[in-house]
Amino acid sequence: ELVELTLLFFQEKTLGGQHWVITAGPTREAIDPVRYISNHSSGKMGYAIAQAAVNAGANVTIISGPVSISAPAGCKVINVESAEQMHQAAMKQSDNADVFIACAAVADYRAADIAPQKMKKSSQDMSISLVRNPDIVKDVAAKANKPFVVGFAAETQDVETYALGKLTSKKLDMICANDVSIATQGFNANQNALTVFDKDSSTEIPLADKAMVATQLVKLIAEKRS
Amino acid sequence: ELVELTLLFFQEKTLGGQHWVITAGPTREAIDPVRYISNHSSGKMGYAIAQAAVNAGANVTIISGPVSISAPAGCKVINVESAEQMHQAAMKQSDNADVFIACAAVADYRAADIAPQKMKKSSQDMSISLVRNPDIVKDVAAKANKPFVVGFAAETQDVETYALGKLTSKKLDMICANDVSIATQGFNANQNALTVFDKDSSTEIPLADKAMVATQLVKLIAEKRS
């Protein structure tokens, strides 16, 4: 029966007329013209959510960091590199969004100064000074005309504690926690498992292909919004 | 006539029986389980050199950092992530190599400590302490039974000065300099242009597809060795 209800949800294009904005992939923070700081996000989860939202009839905008996968047909894609670029695009696109899903693995910090030329290795040790990047999902959730805002918490320990902390402190409507210390799920894997929290409840989406997890998540978001 | 001579070089499998070892791609230096420092190397140049050496009859081993392109058929590929892993593989593979080409964009520095858990963002500013990575091409060139060693110098300024400095200080047999500040050549481009120095001379390989540049470079190395 659950499967049939899910099929119906997508067949009926339940999200028709809605604008969903989804960030995906890593960001790259330049150190100099050739070096950067990044992370292992593949973009697969964000792109899978975009595909599921398209399947359910939504107009979808993906704001994507550098990935090597193709965007689902029918999505608008805005390509960015850095967290600051993603922040700018997210603030703009969320103006007329119904749902904003922050699935990208955004770098928390960027280099304080980007060297204009390739840095020469001169000493045994060195250090890179970093400054905080803007908090994209927090800033979108703080907007007066905010959409329904869904965050992600990719953690390697104390997953639930950190996720609930982010839900409250960033004033999110929902947060999806996953434990990326488990190799079969998360960043570069084809599968994922999520625990989804809102202020009243939590829902387990068990380990499955990211497409299947995305389908359940999109349906859950639609239910919680209504 | 030059084209005919080049064709003959490849048709006659001039490098038959030789073992060429080529490093390619970037390295990734972990900061914690999800974050890393890397660079924009695509691996295209190293893989193109491997293809050209295979075409000329060599047995080719590629020691490759993380790339999203496929290795040429007939190559042995050793996949690595960090500079230390690449160094270990290079020292071993170069034991029975005739030619060693260090085309990878190896990170000069790695994090002094790799955090076992994802680092939490706690303060506005932070810094990452870095220590020097081993110098792979220098260490291979310092071996008693060293192969013919070819380095690369990807620079954004004073290209010739830096390249000649590396040729001498690292005791290389040859160095290929390219200016990666020019968008049409180098790291992520499909074309490249090289200035190749040995202790006596320099040779220009003009801007062309990386396959064409690799073909000329492999022929040049073979001539200089003989």
pLDDT per residue, tens digit, chain B (226 aa), is 667 777 777 778 899 999 999 999 999 999 988 889 999 889 999 999 999 999 999 999 999 999 989 999 999 999 999 999 999 999 999 999 999 999 999 999 999 888 777 666 667 778 888 999 999 999 999 999 999 999 999 877 888 889 999 999 999 999 999 887 777 776 678 899 999 999 999 999 999 999 999 999 999 999 999 8
HSE toward the beta carbon, residue A150, CA cutoff 13 A: 28
Contacts of B36 in chain A (CB under 8 A): 37-40
Question: What SS3 class is residue A77?
Answer: strand
Question: What SS3 class is residue B15?
Answer: coil
Section A125-149 average pLDDT? 93
Contacts of A37 in chain B (CB under 8 A): 31, 35-37
Smallest CA–CA distance from A134 into chain B, residue: B124
Q: Closest approach of chain B CAs to the CA of A2, in angstroms? A: 35
pTM, full prediction: 0.83
Q: Is pLDDT at A80 greater than 80 in this prediction?
A: yes
Interface of A with B in 173-202 (CB under 8 A): 180-181, 187
User: In this structure, what token pair is assigned to residue A81?
Assistant: 């590199």
Closest CA to B128 of A81, A53, A89, A111: A111
Contacts of A121 in chain B (CB under 8 A): 108-109, 132
In this prediction, residue B8 carries a pLDDT of: 76
- Look-up: residue for tokens 């496929």? B70
- DSSP one-letter string for B138-172: HHHHTSTT--EEEEEEEESSSHHHHHHHHHHHTT-
Of A31, A129, A155, the CB nearest to B127: A129
* Residues A30, A31, A33, A38, Cα dihedral to 10°: -40
Question: What is the distance, to the nearest Å, from the Cα of residue B113 to the centroid of all Cα atoms in its chain?
Answer: 26
CB contact under 8 A, B130 and A131: no
